[in-house]
């Protein structure tokens, strides 16, 4: 089977190449990758090359396929796995393997470390250790892009589960956000913040009674409010408020006033910015948990915390880096039941757009960039579909479909694109 893939050879050295995949072994699976969601982690890997902890040292001579937020369908099943998987199954993959005896080591991960599996490819060979660790995950919902976005959604799920609270006099940590409590999501209208809002509103097991979402960009706040409405939140028993902190004289005091002055049980920080971290600390209630979600690029990032409150108010900090396999299973389950992560996606492209988009990801505005690997298509903002539609009927129809879905990507749009890809150019 021949594949076409974007491979990493070194720092900022990505190449789109066609090459032959080896015949699968009895403990491997051949799969078709339909789509991949570009991640900042791939930008970091491309920027750092072999300095990255997951990139093997011999990448210059044995390049690896990049991309780790991908979905597709299984094409051929090795004998070992025929009782668990079947041809045509839709899948997603938990990329964060910890298989000590793998070909690369404890930090091996599809999308960073392997020659024949990664998200930015048309076909891949799924190695035995992915199945052995239960990291090949079935998806039973509609379309493919939701499964591709299960990995970023799992990061939010993991963060919610990682929060914890205590009882004075007891050393037992009660994991999770406070059910019926007060929650703040700061700098929360970027792609991952939107995922956190979406997940919180759609949970059935627990939810806050009050949730505030802050930012300093009114246009982004308005978009979030249009996607995840106050009315829908109210129907779920949540008092949701979108707040522009740049318009407040004293943001901490004004936001705490919404809680009767008590503060928030769970505060999530979605931007690695010192003033936002310090603001989060000031919002904490007694036994409040500050979750530092945003991954900083500065290894010396620091912020001041109120240690008087740490001692007497039991305030504390949590942080996670990604979700685990159970978090991804929860994400896939929620999506198969109707949770739509389309609010994350702002751009669509083909495999020919991967290199430029990945190397410039921090400078491309918007949310997730969704790649369809079997298509040739420039990276295109969904908001530009209508303009492109003036000269291309495929884009015109995509614009029409997206307009029916609040301007968002959808299973309907995905299906139309895949059926009409030959007419794009």
The residue extents of the domains of the chain are 1-148+340-425, 157-318
Three-class SS of residue 44?
Answer: helix
Q: Do domains 1-148+340-425 and 157-318 have the same CATH topology?
A: no
Structure tokens at 230: 């106050």
Q: Which CATH superfamily is domain 1-148+340-425 in?
A: Medium-chain alcohol dehydrogenases, catalytic domain (3.90.180.10)
The answer to whether 307 and 317 are in contact (CB under 8 A) is: no
CA distances from 272 to 186, 278, 281 (A): 11, 11, 14
Quote the CA–CA distance of 72 and 110 in Å, as a whole number. Answer: 14
Phi, psi of 76 (to 5 degrees): -145, 130
* The domain defined by 157-318 carries CATH number 3.40.50.920: no
Residue found under tokens 């959604």: 153
The reported pLDDT for the residue numbered 100 is 52
CA distance 411 to 416: 9
Residues in the chain, pLDDT under 70: 98-106
Q: Do strands 164-165 and 174-175 pair parallel, antiparallel, or not at all (unpaired)?
A: antiparallel
pLDDT of residue 102: 47
Q: Encoding tokens for residue 45?
A: 């890997």
pLDDT at 60: 96
> Which pLDDT score is estimated for 104?
47
Q: Are 230 and 240 in contact (CB under 8 A)?
A: yes
Q: What is the pLDDT of residue 394?
A: 95
* Cβ–Cβ < 8 Å for 151, 329: no
Strand ranges (E), 90-205: 90-93, 123-126, 136-138, 164-165, 174-175, 182-186
Least Cα distance to 65 among 371, 375, 425, 377 occurs for 371
Rounded distance, CA 236 to CA 177, Å? 16
pLDDT value of position 226? 92
* Separation of alpha carbons 286 and 284, rounded Å: 7
Taking the CB of residue 166, how many other CB atoms lie within 10 A of it? 14
């Amino acid at each position: 089977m021949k594949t076409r893939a974007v491979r990493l050879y070194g720092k900022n050295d990505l190449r789109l190449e066609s090459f032959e995949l080896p015949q699968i072994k009895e403990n491997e699976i051949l799969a078709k990758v339909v789509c991949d969601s570009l991640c900042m982690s791939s930008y970091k890997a491309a920027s750092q090359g072999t300095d990255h902890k997951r990139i093997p040292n011999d990448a210059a001579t044995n390049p690896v396929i990049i991309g780790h937020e991908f979905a597709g369908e299984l094409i051929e099943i090795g004998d070992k796995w025929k009782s668990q998987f079947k041809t045509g199954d839709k899948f997603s993959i938990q990329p964060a393997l910890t298989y000590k005896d793998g070909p690369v080591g404890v930090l091996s991960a599809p999308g960073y470390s392997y020659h024949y599996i990664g998200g930015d490819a048309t076909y891949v060979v799924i190695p035995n250790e992915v199945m052995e660790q239960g990291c090949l995950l079935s998806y039973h919902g509609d379309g493919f892009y939701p499964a591709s976005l299960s990995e970023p959604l799992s990061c939010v799920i993991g963060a919610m589960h990682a929060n914890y609270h205590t009882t004075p006099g007891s050393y037992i940590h009660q994991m999770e956000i406070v059910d019926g409590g007060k929650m703040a999501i700061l700098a929360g209208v970027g792609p991952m913040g939107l995922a956190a809002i979406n997940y919180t509103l759609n949970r059935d097991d627990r939810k806050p009674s009050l949730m505030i979402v802050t930012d300093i960009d009114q246009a982004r706040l308005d978009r979030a409010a249009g996607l995840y409405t106050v009315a829908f939140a109210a129907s779920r028993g949540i008092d949701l408020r979108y707040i522009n902190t740049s318009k407040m004289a004293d943001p901490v005091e004004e936001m705490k006033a919404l809680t009767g002055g008590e503060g928030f049980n769970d505060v999530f920080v979605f931007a690695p910015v010192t003033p936002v971290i310090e603001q989060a600390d000031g919002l904490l209630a007694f036994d409040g948990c500050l979750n530092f979600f945003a991954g900083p690029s500065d290894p010396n990032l620091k912020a001041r915390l109120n240690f008087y409150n740490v001692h007497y108010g039991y305030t504390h900090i949590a942080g996670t880096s990604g979700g685990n396999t159970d978090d991804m299973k929860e994400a896939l389950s929620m999506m198969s039941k109707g949770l739509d992560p389309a609010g994350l996606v702002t751009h669509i492209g083909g495999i020919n757009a991967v290199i430029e988009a990945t190397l410039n990801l921090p400078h491309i505005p918007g949310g997730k960039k969704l790649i369809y690997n079997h298509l040739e298509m420039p990276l295109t903002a969904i908001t530009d579909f209508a303009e492109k539609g003036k000269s291309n009927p495929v884009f015109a129809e995509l614009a029409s479909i997206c307009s029916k879905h609040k301007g968002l990507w959808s299973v309907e749009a995905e299906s139309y694109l895949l059926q009409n890809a030959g007419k794009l150019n």
